[in-house]
Amino acid sequence: MSYTELKELPALEGSLNIYVSQSHSLRRPPSLSESHAFTPENVQRAYKLLEAENTENAVTTEDKQIVVQPRCLERYERPVILYTLRFTFHIALISIFESIFFFFYVSTLEDGGITNTVNYFITDAVQTCSNWTPWEQSVVNDILASWINVTTIANTANSVATGRIVSNARLMRISWIYVGAFAFLFGVSAIYAHRRNIKVHWGRLVFENLAMVLMLALYEFLFFSTIITPYSPLSAQEIELNAIRRFQGSCNLF
């Protein structure tokens, strides 16, 4: 290729031909080794290398984005899982305690209080009628029969008792559903922590929550023993006086 032909070639960025094409004062053509670097074959190979480099940079950028995203998530992942484990385990223990405490202790106290109040009103009558003669018992039964139907009362009481038992059993099942729900959430969180290799101090978690629930149980027992049980509700005598006043106001009795 002659010098004149080189000057007519389009300038290639970075090659000596750019000086040949633009500078008319250049007196010598580029050497063979210099111009050979910009042959069409080498230029094509250069483009391929440039495309490969750009592709590699793009892949590296995507890899960096993929790596950075989990790191951002891991910043919040461990605290969220740890707090979820503590919360669900603590509430599950409390719900177990409250269910047992209410259905086997508090409900018994309430039923016993109602029974004691009723017994106050019938104790004197029971003791008095136990000394009646058969004739007196027959006369009183004839009088009461016109006002009280024992069969109807018994059937109604049995029906109400059955409904009460069914209703309370349903409430107990609901309370254990609460327990199961929090236990399930705790189990799911524990499995997730295991799969994600999140370090959990299980001994500390179990000990702290068991200690808090035991302290709560002790407090509840002391509170019921020293406050609720000694508390003086509306007395049977006050209830009796209230009943008499209602009969006086409505029926002019007593």
Distance CA 172, CA 100 (A): 9
The set of long-range contacts for 23-29, using a CB threshold of 8 Å and a minimum separation of 24, is: 28/3, 29/1, 29/2, 29/3
Per residue of the chain (254 residues), give pLDDT as tens. Answer: 555 554 555 555 555 555 455 554 545 555 545 444 555 655 566 566 667 666 666 555 445 444 444 565 667 888 899 999 999 999 999 999 999 999 998 898 888 888 888 888 888 778 778 788 888 888 888 888 888 888 888 899 999 999 999 999 999 999 999 999 999 999 999 999 999 888 999 999 999 999 999 999 999 989 988 988 888 888 878 888 888 888 788 877 77
CB distance 90 to 209 below 8 Å: yes
- Looking up tokens 């009088």 gives 143
Return d(Cα 254, Cα 247) in angstroms, integer. 7
Which string of DSSP letters, residue by residue, matches 172-222? Answer: HHHHHHHHHHHHHHHHHHHHHHHHTT----HHHHHHHHHHHHHHHHHHHHH
Decide: 121 and 236 in contact? Cβ < 8 Å: yes
Tell me if 97 sits within 8 A of 179, measured CB to CB.
no
* Coil/strand/helix, residue 47: helix
**SS3 category, 76:** helix
How far is it, in rounded angstroms, from Cα 97 to Cα 216? 9
Tokens of 67: 């790596």
Please give the DSSP secondary-structure letter assigned to residue 102.
I
- What is the three-class DSSP state of 15? coil
Q: Is 29 left (phi over 0), alpha (psi -120 to 50) or beta?
A: beta
Strands (E), the chain: none
**Residue 38 DSSP class:** T
Residue 46's pLDDT is: 59
- The whole-number pLDDT of residue 32 equals 47
* CB neighbours of residue 143 within 10 Å: 10
- Are the C-beta atoms of 72 and 192 separated by less than 8 Å? no
Rounded distance, CA 41 to CA 23, Å?
26
